[in-house]
Every structure is written in C-alpha cells, then in structure tokens.
Structure 1
Amino acid sequence: MSASALAIAETLDDESTALPVIDLSELDAPENRAEFHQRLARIACDTGFFYLEGHGIDVAQIRELERLTRETFKLSAEAKDRIAIRNTPHFRGYTGVGGEITRLKPDLREQLDFGEELPAVTSTDPNHPIWWSLQGPNQWPVELPELKPAVLDWLDKTRAVAERLLSAFLVALGQEPDALDELIGTPRNHRLKIIHYPGQPQGQSDQGVGAHKDGGLLTLLLQDDVGGLQVLGQNGWIDVPPRKNAFVINIGEMLELATNGYLRANVHRVVSPSNGADRYSIAYFFTPSLNAQEVPLLALSDELANQATGPESDPDNPLFRHIGTNALKGRIRSHLDVAERFYPEQFAQLKAQAAAHGRPLQASTY
C-alpha cells in the first residue's frame, strides 16, 4: 500500500472525509499476503467501509456500463413503464423516483434492478416457500439491446471480485478460504442496481436513500464524480467522496451474522445532489443463495471472538438468520407496490406493524 493510502487508513478514526484503501492486487504477491490480511481484518472490523482498488476490472468496461446507465434513464416514461418492477414478483425492473422505501420514507432516486438471469421457480406445492419467488428472469428495455449483455457480464466480473474478497476476509479471520462456499453457491442470488439520483430543490427532502444497512454479504459500489454517499461514524456522518475506478465496499448483515458481529454492517445513506445536478451509481450486492437455508456461525479464535459483540438487529426491521426469510423481508419493505400485488399476506403484516407505530402505510401513496 502506498504512503498516501496508509495515511488515509490511519485518519478514519478522526472522522476523516475519506475511507481506507485496500488494493486487492496485493494478493498476487505471496510476500504481501500476511500484511494484507491483517490490514483487511482491522479495517473491516473498525469501519465496515473501504475503497477497493486493484480489482482487475477493465476501465473500458467501467466506462461502458456507466454510459449505458445514463442512456437507460434517458428512455421515455413509456419505455420505463413497460419494464416496471411491479410487473413481476421477482423484484426485477424499473422503479421511479419515490418508488422504493427506506424506513417508511420514499427514496428520491430512479433505478433498474437486475439479478442472475434464471427461470422463475414454479411449484404447485402449497408448502413451497414463498421466498423462492425472488428467483426469476430480468426485464430488459428493448430500446437499449446492448444493456443486457453488458449487465450480465458485469454480474460475472463483480462476482469474481466479490468471491476473491470474501475468501480474503475468511483467511484474515483464521478460516479456510472456502468456508462459506455453500452460502454463495448456485442458484446464485446476487443483485445489481443501476441508479440515478436527480437533483432536489433546497428545502425539500434530500433522501436519495435513507439510512440503512445492506442485507447481503458484501456490496461493491461504483460511484460517479458527484458525491452524496455517507457512512455513520461515532461522531456523525462521514462523507465518502468518489474515487476514480475504485469500488466502495461495505459489509452486509449476513457477514455480520456469520462472524457474530466481529465484522460490522455499517449504517449508510445517500444525500440527494443539489437542484440541477445528477448522480449515477452502480451497486452490486453479493448475496447468499436461496438454497443455502441459514447463515452459519464461523468459529473464530478466542482473540477475535472476544471482540465480537454479537449482531445488531433493528427492532423495526428484525434480522433473520434464515436466508430466504430475510431476503424476502427486505424486498417487501422496500417495494410496497410489488408487495401489495404479489405478497398480500406479507404486505398486510407490514401495514399492521406500521399502523401500530402510528405510521400509516399504503403502497399506492408512492
């Protein structure tokens, strides 16, 4: 690691406006691996957020997906509506500004959600777990045919990076590098969002995305050059400024569960850009397979286990160890229109919970 990167890493405790930097290519040199794993474990335990460089994804591929992201959101309202997320139970497709909900408040962004391109799971068994409905095909805009191959290739490339990073985490925690292979096996359940945050007038809501934790294992976020991402530190919100061609990595709740809280899923948010500006980002969510059942608890060394404080769970958004239950819960809470149409029982439960807290909930409001 360069002297400048080391300086960044050491200043985070002072609520710096930058995160530590990890260079994944250091793993290519055997003599660097021990130091790399030590630094990775410390940074992940302390912050749960860092920049990732040396990931190996070609810059030309990054620029192309960024271009296609901008082109996607230039499509007409009619084209976007044809691939609306409310069309299917799989939570794949377009969501307009205010259509996704975080902590019962609308997020001021539009986005297109994708997952692994897989057939829908169908079954006539009434006991078939409802969360298998999360698996299914994507919706693609016919007006932009080059988007599909670009997204599917990006899913493959980012999955390879995430798998390598997860193995490095495991080694850093004294585990075998393949200790969680069953958790990330097939059928894969990884997700991708391409996102547009339109600028908001002063004095109105600036909730690009409300404060939350990610529910998977790891998130790999590619930002453009417009800021707005913040992570919650001990003394308040810390800006996460863009870093060219680097991913912002954050730990998800499933990895927090697997390590009994040694690795923390940090709270983060996005503040909308100012009026007249636009922010774009590409977020890849490395998520356990629906076939994996439950998140295993890793057997940490006594030294690390003594530092593990247990996973945190929001009373208003409880965390489940069961993969399918947790995944479906997160989707239903975020997309009320899909929940109301395809998951009426779960939507009714969420609506009753909101009413009990004095917060009326109605999907058609958004």
Structure 2
Amino acid sequence: MSNLCIPTVDLSPFHNEGDEDGKNAVKQIIGEACSEYGFFQVVNHCVPLNLMNRVLELSRMFFEYPKEEKLKYGPGPGSGVPLPAGYNRQPEHSADKNEYLLMFPPGSGFNVYPNDPPEFREVLEEIFSHFAKMGLLLESILNECLGLPPNFLKEYNHDRSCDFMVALRYFPATETENNGLSEHEDGNCITFLFQDNVGGLEVLKDGKWIPVPPTEGTIVVNVGDVIQVLSNNKFKSSTHRVVRQQESRHSLAFFYNLVENKWVEPLPQFTKEIGQPPRYKGFLFKEYQQLRMRNKTHPPSRPEDVIHITHYAISTQGRENNVK
C-alpha cells in the first residue's frame, strides 16, 4: 500500500470576503490535485457536521429495515426516473456487495417516493441543497483552474435537474471476499462523498492504491469523466474502489451531473488553441450513460469488455489526423 495521501483543502477563503491570497492558494492546490490524483478532500465547506452525522444515522436505520420494507421505497408510477431510483440491492452474482437508496433533487419531477420515511426524506433534501451549492462553488473553482472564460462551466452545465444522491451500505467482508465496489471511474462532472469511520475507499495512482481514511467533517471530492474529456486529460477522472471491512460501511455520495442531451467533447482551449490533438471523439452524454448502465444490468463476462470513457478515445493516428 502506498504512503501517498490525497490533498486536503480548506475552503474557508471562499466564505470570507476579500481573502484573494487564500483563494489563489486553494485554487493552486485543487488544480494540482485534479491533475495528479483526480481527488482531494475539503474542510470548512459549510455543510453542517450535525447534518452529515444525522444523514449517516438515518441511513443506518433505513438499511436495518426488513428487505420487504426497503423494497417499498421507490419512484411512483409515471415518475419518469431515468436511473434505478429508490432502494436497490446489487444482485447476488454481482462482484459488488452493497445496497443503496438513490434520490433525485426536490422539484426535479423525479423525486416521487410515496413511501419515503418522512424524516429521512427531509434530511436528505436539506443536505441535497447544501451539496448543490457546493457544486456551484467547486465548479467555479475548476473553471478558474482550467483557465476557462468566466462562468463557462456554469453556463455549459446550467441544468441541475439530473443531479442525484445515493446513500450506500457496504456489507462486511467475508473470509473469501472483500470487494464492496469494483474499481471504476465516475461518469459525471464532480462527485462529493462523506463516509463513516469504517473506511475502505481507495484511489489508484501510478499503479498503487491510496487509501482515503475517513476524517470527521471532511468531504471527498473527485472529478468525473466529463471533466476529463472537456479538459482533454488535463484533469483526471481517477479509478477508485471500495474494499469491504469487518463491519458494514455507510456513506453518502452526491453526483453533480450533466443533462442527458448534452454534447461532450474536448474543448478548443485544450486542443486547437494550443496545437494539441483531441484525445476523445465527441458523444451525447445520454449515450455514454446507457453504455455505463449496461455494464451494471448486463455485466460483461470479461473485465476488459466493461465500457469506460476510453470507449471514445481517439487512437494516436486518429489524433494526428485531427490536428489542423
């Protein structure tokens, strides 16, 4: 196991007027972290600690319900949910061993869960609001780190109706199996996550797995495939996994997402304008989502057949032909 650790960033300068030096220092750390690790952690993020703890407490209570009761929690008829929302458990034959509750934002038209536990729903909606605000802040910081025109990413990704949040429980490891979530990359823009004190999250860097130990009040942030493609690999969507421990692990993940009909391709600021060939061909985000969902619903028999963002990668020869 590597002795490396992902950087921790104090966001307080962005909540204090006039601290431009502090903001610039934060942006430098985040820019380097996104290039080197694709991951970093944040403190002083303005998400209340008591709210984070309450979410985890209610999550534990929910996952202790009998299976028949948990299965009642899902979208109502005709809700139009584009992902497997509500309660789900990974199939027995799956390599991943977890169960989860997936929610869409209040007012999106997708958050129709007639059987939700009232307090749990209220708390999740409250923390959803905090994460949405944090997403706007981190998106603006990434925008500056990438040297893009002011508000470029905000205008490109202005629709928040497809953001979603997932409460997860990973089952305890067994003598023969400790995989909780297979190694993967996130397909969205930015992911926020906080975890209980059990641990198990690991990030791959230079062929070594770096543990991300849980720290109270800290939120883990990583960039997803969309940012990697837009930046033409300047920022990294890193491979990560969850290794099961001796007891159940609980976490909450928020996915700052992209609308389905958005076109994704390397931006000219990282290709034509600097004389670099594009590393990916353009694609409709909905198409990529469908391929990723097929990985889960119909897992390929060979690991090498799992679809990643490399599905859209342009070969070296192709990149040379794209340089004008």
- In structure 1, which of residues 305, 308, 331 is the aligned counterpart of residue 293 of structure 2? 331
Deviation at 1:296, TM superposition (A): 6.1
Question: 8 Å contact 1:15–1:233 — kept in the other structure?
Answer: no
Residue 113 (structure 1) aligns with:
102
Counterpart of 2:86 in structure 1: which amino acid? Answer: G
Residue 128 (structure 2) aligns with:
155
Kindly indicate whether residue 24 of structure 2 is the aligned counterpart of residue 62 of structure 1: no
Residue 346 (structure 1) aligns with:
none
Distance 2:293 2:63 in 1: 22
Question: 8 Å contact 1:174–1:300 — kept in the other structure?
Answer: no
Residue 294 (structure 1) aligns with:
264
Deviation at 1:31, TM superposition (A): 2.4
Inter-CA distance 140–110: structure 2 relative to 1 (3 Å threshold): farther
Distance 1:172 1:159 in 2: 20
Deviations 1:341-366 (A, max 9, x none): xxxxxxxxx68xx479999xxxxxxx
Q: Secondary structure at the match of 2:118?
A: coil
Question: 8 Å contact 1:17–1:240 — kept in the other structure?
Answer: no
Distance 2:25 2:302 in 1: 51
Residue 80 (structure 1) aligns with:
70
Distance 1:332 1:94 in 2: 19
Counterpart of 1:244 in structure 2: which amino acid? Answer: E
Question: 8 Å contact 2:6–2:33 — kept in the other structure?
Answer: no
Higher mean C-alpha displacement, 76-85 vs 189-198: 76-85
- In structure 2, which of residues 113, 122, 125 is the aligned counterpart of residue 139 of structure 1? 113
Kindly indicate whether residue 225 of structure 2 is the aligned counterpart of residue 262 of structure 1: no
Distance 1:309 1:199 in 2: 46
Deviations 1:201-221 (A, max 9, x none): 212x22100000000011101
Question: 8 Å contact 1:258–1:296 — kept in the other structure?
Answer: yes
Distance 2:205 2:304 in 1: 29
Q: Secondary structure at the match of 1:50?
A: strand
Residue 245 (structure 1) aligns with:
217
Deviation at 1:292, TM superposition (A): 3.1
Inter-CA distance 300–155: structure 2 relative to 1 (3 Å threshold): same
Matches within 5 A, 1:40-59: 40-59=30-49
Q: Secondary structure at the match of 1:257?
A: helix
Unaligned runs of 5+ in 2: 306-324
Q: Percent identity?
A: 21
Query: What is the root-mean-square deviation in Å for CA atoms of aligned residues?
Result: 3.1
Question: 8 Å contact 2:73–2:114 — kept in the other structure?
Answer: yes
- In structure 2, which of residues 171, 177, 201 is the aligned counterpart of residue 229 of structure 1? 201
Question: 8 Å contact 1:255–1:263 — kept in the other structure?
Answer: yes
Question: 8 Å contact 1:108–1:209 — kept in the other structure?
Answer: yes
Inter-CA distance 358–322: structure 2 relative to 1 (3 Å threshold): closer
Deviation at 1:166, TM superposition (A): 1.2
Residue 125 (structure 1) aligns with:
none
Deviation at 1:187, TM superposition (A): 5.3
Distance 2:192 2:23 in 1: 22
Residue 10 (structure 2) aligns with:
23
Inter-CA distance 86–140: structure 2 relative to 1 (3 Å threshold): closer
Residue 88 (structure 2) aligns with:
95
Deviations 1:70-90 (A, max 9, x none): 111011211112235898753
Unaligned runs of 5+ in 1: 1-13, 121-135, 313-318, 337-349, 360-366
TM-score (norm 1): 0.73
Distance 1:57 1:237 in 2: 28
Counterpart of 2:175 in structure 1: which amino acid? Answer: Q
